[in-house]
Amino acid sequence: MSLAIRNQIDVTVSVARDAIAAVEILPRARPPLGRLFAGKPPASLLNVLPRIFSLCAAAHQVAFLSAIEAARGEGISLATRQHRIAMVVGERLTELLRGLFVGHFPLDATSAAAIRALMQGVSALLSSAEPSCGQVRREAIARVAIALAALGITNEDGAPRLGTPLALRVVALEEDALNPTPMQHSFLSVADDRDVIERLVDDAGFCRCPDLEGRIPETGAWARQMMRDQITLGRSGPAERLKARIAEIARLHAWLRLGARVETAEHGIVESYRLGPGRGAAAVECARGRLYHAVELDRQRQMSRFEVIAPTEWNFHARGPLVRSLQGAVLAAKPRGQRAVRAMVASFDPCVGFTLNFREIGDA
């Protein structure tokens, strides 16, 4: 039996003259997780999670373990917390790098080689026994620095060096033919955790179509940067989203290089919440955005309920950030305009597969 989530999303864009009149999103399919997990001991499900959640598998494992511990009223050691945060950061860095390759450089052999070297270096960093010392760690740090430089990322602000393929890609996206309507943005953060979790455990349909009193916030690398900079109104095109991913790659690498300490970790990156006897939840800031797990255990401490809401459900919501970003946007002539729309859809998550269809309709 295949348990993997179908990650394909179908997007239909209706165009009237030169403007996008409507955007329809058919969400991905979700397996019946509650029924599949019911009656099983939590420990037996850890090896199943990567089969179900192929994207951000480590983040899902951390969220699941944290929610189970909260339900049991168990604490964890500082070393365990540090290990889990490093796992999440390492996976986030790897997934952001994968997104660069998949979304921007699949045919660029030089950039692809640098990205592969980065992934190998990050893996070596994470496997170092002692974060503060060791020849293996020093060699890994050197390899990562060389690979970042090959991509043109030499500063912690992440701005790619002029003339590099990454910088040229940013320029190409800035010049692309999509003129979105200015809008006020809303972002999902640790401050929303209690509201999200309350809805998740009280409303069976919330995980498929979430909203917070009509607010459907964005989550992910660009949203994290906007919150750090305290900006809610600004350009939100593919170029800005790519630059946010590049900057985050530089920041995450710097955190690993400087020792991966809990006290300097990103606020809210892993949070757990005890909801009552046998009930717990957790939130993890993964590559794609904020991920939530909620669990309930029966008297024998077996699984009786399991709910998940992934970042994709917010970003690709039928009334969510992608739809709002495209609605009303003015396009250049085909095929340039269609290419710009495709870049915009991919900029929300390069590693989530999608089909994009265009439909010509009457005047908007």
- Residues flagged as binding site for Mg(2+): 308
CA distance 14 to 61: 39
The sheet carrying 279-286 orders its strands as: 270-276, 279-286, 289-297, 303-309
Q: Is the dihedral of CA 322, 196, 62, 50 positive or negative?
A: negative
Q: Is 268 left (phi over 0), alpha (psi -120 to 50) or beta?
A: left
What are the two backbone dihedrals, phi and then psi, of residue 349, each rounded to the nearest 5 degrees? -170, 95
Provide the annotated binding site: 308, 351
CA distance 111 to 160: 13
H-type alpha helices, the chain? 33-37, 49-52, 57-72, 78-104, 109-127, 135-151, 165-174, 193-202, 221-228, 238-257, 311-315, 321-326, 336-348
DSSP 223-291: HHHHHHTT--BS--SHHHHHHHHHHHHHHHHHHHHTT--GGGSPTTSEEEEEEETTEEEEEEEETTEEE
Provide the annotated binding site for Ni(2+): 351
